[in-house]
Amino acid sequence: MVRHRPNNDCLYCGEKLTRPPTIQRAFYYCDESCWRPCNRSLRFFNPEIPSRSRGTPMSLVAQVWWCMRQANTPLSSVELYERVLDNFGDHPRLKSKTGFYKLLNHLKPEVFRKIEGSYRTEYEVVKDIPFKDALRSKFLTVIEPQQPLLTASDKGKLRHK
């Protein structure tokens, strides 16, 4: 059975996806240059220290941003939690229906709006921009690749030197 992919555009850069999903992969990103930055986890208080085992996964923040962009109305944290689960499946770091304010701290404050209600808080996208433009610059500079990606032919040349 072919994997289900809810998005038609890349979660990182917003470009139209060209590769169809397969049995093994859903291909949420354009290519490796968009996948690599989202395959990082960052500690909120010290983003210069990347981590793979602890910290906030950028893929989860990208999925939350995509769900917020697709909504036509403001979403509460419970509705946002359910949309992420419905579209992308269970994520090990997404345990509770609260705590989205910690995920949204990675985004620029001008791209979304927090609507305080008497019983619940709702979140709404103000600007419809891709995830890489919505992410705060201090996080973006850390997750962007610092060096060009090596291809298989480049790796072979390095081994023979």
- Sheet with 56-57: strands ordered across: 50-51, 41-42, 56-57
- Phi and psi at 81, nearest 5°, equal -60, -45
Q: Is residue 158 part of a domain?
A: no
What proportion of the chain, given as a percentage, has pLDDT over 90? 22
Indicate whether 157 belongs to any domain.
no
In a domain, 63, yes or no: yes
> Could you tell me the pLDDT band of residue 97, with boundaries at 50, 70 and 90?
low
pLDDT of residue 96: 67
% residues pLDDT > 70 (the chain): 83
Name the residue type at position 49: I
Q: What is the mean pLDDT of the chain?
A: 82
Query: What digits encode the pLDDT tens for the residues 15-55?
Result: 999 888 888 888 899 888 898 888 888 877 777 776 666 78
| N-to-C CA span, the chain | 44
2: in domain? no
Taking Cα atoms as reference points, which of 31, 82, 88, 80 lies closest to residue 59? 88
Report the CATH number at residue 62.
1.10.10.10
Asked if the structure places residue 18 within a domain, the reply is: no
- Total domain count, the chain: 1
Q: How many residues are there in the chain? A: 161
pLDDT digits over 146-159, tens only? 555 555 555 455 55
For residue 135, the enclosing domain spans 32-144
pLDDT in tens, 74-89: 998 889 888 988 888 8
Residue at 3 is within a domain: no
Q: Is residue 151 part of a domain?
A: no
